[in-house]
């Protein structure tokens, strides 16, 4: 099956084009569409069979719950109950945008969406194409990233085509995504705000908006919220993170030289300010350390480039964990898999 590809200019949206995608959603189809974070694979969140299709084509395990995407004209009271005051505050402040809130669901949300959990993850995206699609479909969209499970999320339509091109109905092509990393996921313990996954809205911004915030222990490196898998967002190449701090250059070169001696094809991923340290090695630059937004938007594209060029190992230098740097490092550690920082010397 070849998907219908619909080109849409996010700055000049032709409603007629979006209508076809919305019709596919209403008839139970699967539609890839751009959000401000990454491309999503959407299905009618209220139709369990359509949602089952998402899990099937992504090969996503059924215990990994999906985020439900809503538009501003929807009464979210139909989908969630017992909304904490701080959830309201965060939604008022950051919606539409890359923030997902996990709240007690109503009966209307099928169990398959939440992997049987009592809470549902809800987000109102800001990308104009996503907003128009959800509105025209007239139903919330369950939408994980439009890639094969555990692979780097798609930040351009070509990534979607290469992962899922044979198995979905429609791709709405709105060009490259803006942020390039997934949304921030927050849960609530009473009024306490728990950061379950760092993402597009920084922890600093959330702390400015509400009082009681904690980044879940292991939120950066390990598995915490239900359905979060220890190895995720990962390229085919093995990712070896190199912690920041004294001797980072020496540690990076030690790993690089060990791999070179073994004949392993490897590359180094670092910020532009450090690229000149690694003359004579294959280097891909994420961006300037002064521009974490740029680094975030390029991360998954760089992972995919390493794969396309058949690298076996990516040596990934850590960057400061403030602002979007926290989400970037979370994805690098997830790509590396559990205990990655304990195995700097790849066997
Ligand atoms: P993705 O759609 O791949 O960006 O990932 C969605 C992630 O959101 C899941 O892997 C969970 O980590 C989180 N999530 C979604 N629904 C829930 C939920 N009901 N409770 C806790 N975490 C959730
Ligand atoms: Mg995903």
- 38-95, pLDDT tens digit by residue? 999 999 999 999 999 999 999 999 999 999 999 999 999 999 998 999 999 999 999 9
pLDDT at res. 344: 43
Half-sphere exposure for 53 (CA within 13 Å, toward CB): 23
Compute, in angstroms, the gap from residue 153 CA to the centroid of ligand 2: 6
Tokens of 293: 């937004």
Compute, in angstroms, the gap from residue 73 CA to the centroid of ligand 2: 26
Say how far apart CA 26 and CA 206 lie, in whole Å: 35
Q: pTM to 2 decimals?
A: 0.93
* Ligand located closest to 186 CA: 1
pLDDT at res. 220: 43
CATH of domain 238-336: 3.40.50.11030
Compute, in angstroms, the gap from residue 64 CA to the centroid of ligand 1: 7
Compute, in angstroms, the gap from residue 63 CA to the centroid of ligand 2: 13
Q: Where are the domains of the chain?
A: 4-224, 238-336
Query: Which band of pLDDT confidence, cut at 50, 70 and 90, is reported for residue 224?
Result: very low
> What is the rounded average pLDDT of the residues 188-216?
95
Element (H, E) at 267: strand 266-270
Which of 45-54, 125-134, 215-224 has the least mean pLDDT? Answer: 215-224
**Can you list the alpha helix ranges (DSSP code H) found in the chain?**
15-26, 48-58, 85-94, 111-114, 128-137, 157-164, 203-209, 248-262, 292-308, 324-336
CA separation, residue 138 to residues 11, 23, 87, 112, 141 (Å) = 22, 10, 24, 20, 9
From the CB of 114, is ligand 1 less than 6 Å away? yes
Compute, in angstroms, the gap from residue 102 CA to the centroid of ligand 2: 16
Place of tokens 């751009």: 34
pLDDT at res. 230: 64
Q: Which of 163, 199, 225 to mutate to test the pocket of ligand 1 (most atoms within 8 A of CB)?
A: 225
pLDDT at res. 216: 82
* Ligand located closest to 35 CA: 1
Closest C-alpha residue for ligand 1 atom 10: 228
pLDDT at res. 266: 98
Beta-bridge partner residues of 191:
none
CATH 3.90.870.10 fits 4-224, yes or no: yes
Half-sphere exposure for 190 (CA within 13 Å, toward CB): 3
pLDDT at res. 337: 87
**Mean pLDDT across the chain:** 93
Compute, in angstroms, the gap from residue 159 CA to the centroid of ligand 2: 13
Helix %, strand %, coil % for the chain, to 5?
35, 20, 45
Which of 83-97, 148-162, 228-242 has the least mean pLDDT? Answer: 228-242
Position in ligand 1 atom list of the atom nearest CA 119? 19
Q: Is there a common fold for 4-224 and 238-336?
A: no
Give percent of the chain above pLDDT 90: 88
pLDDT at res. 91: 98
Position in ligand 1 atom list of the atom nearest CA 117? 19
Tokens of 18: 């979006």
Residues within 5 A (CB) of ion ligand 2: 144-145
pLDDT at res. 228: 57
From the CB of 153, is ligand 1 less than 6 Å away? no
Half-sphere exposure for 253 (CA within 13 Å, toward CB): 11
From the CB of 197, is ligand 1 less than 6 Å away? yes
Closest C-alpha residue for ligand 1 atom 4: 144
Position in ligand 1 atom list of the atom nearest CA 229? 10
């Amino acid at each position: 099956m070849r998907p219908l590809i619909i080109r849409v200019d996010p700055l000049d949206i032709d409603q007629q084009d979006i209508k076809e995608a919305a019709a596919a959603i209403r008839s139970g189809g699967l539609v890839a569409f751009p959000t401000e974070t990454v491309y999503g694979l959407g299905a009618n969140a209220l139709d369990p069979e359509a949602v089952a299709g998402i899990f099937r084509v992504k090969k996503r395990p059924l215990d990994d719950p999906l985020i439900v995407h809503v538009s501003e004209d929807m009464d979210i009271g139909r989908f969630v109950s017992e909304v904490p005051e701080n959830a309201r505050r965060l939604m008022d402040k950051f919606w539409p945008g890359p923030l997902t809130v996990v709240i007690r669901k109503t009966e209307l949300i099928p169990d398959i969406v939440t992997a049987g959990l009592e809470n549902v993850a809800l987000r109102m995206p800001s990308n104009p194409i996503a907003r128009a699609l959800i509105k025209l479909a007239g139903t919330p969209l369950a939408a994980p990233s439009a890639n094969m499970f555990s692979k780097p999320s798609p930040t351009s339509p070509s990534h979607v085509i290469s992962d899922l091109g044979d198995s979905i109905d429609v791709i709405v092509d709105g060009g490259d995504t803006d942020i390039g990393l997934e949304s921030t996921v927050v849960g609530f313990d009473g009024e306490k705000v728990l950061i379950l996954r760092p993402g597009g809205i920084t922890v600093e911004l959330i702390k400015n908006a509400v009082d009681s915030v904690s980044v879940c222990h292991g939120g950066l490196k390990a598995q915490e919220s239900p359905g979060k898998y220890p190895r995720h967002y990962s390229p085919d190449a093995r990712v070896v993170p190199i912690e920041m701090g004294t001797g980072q250059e020496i540690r990076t070169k030690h790993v690089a030289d060990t791999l070179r001696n073994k004949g392993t094809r490897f590359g180094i991923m670092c910020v532009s300010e450090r690229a000149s340290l690694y003359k004579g090695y294959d280097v891909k630059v994420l961006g300037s350390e002064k521009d974490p937004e740029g680094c975030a938007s390029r991360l998954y594209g760089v992972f995919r480039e390493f794969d396309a060029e058949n690298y076996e190992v990516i040596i990934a230098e850590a960057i400061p964990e403030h602002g979007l740097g926290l989400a970037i490092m979370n994805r690098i550690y997830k790509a590396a898999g559990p205990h990655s920082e304990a195995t700097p010397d790849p066997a």
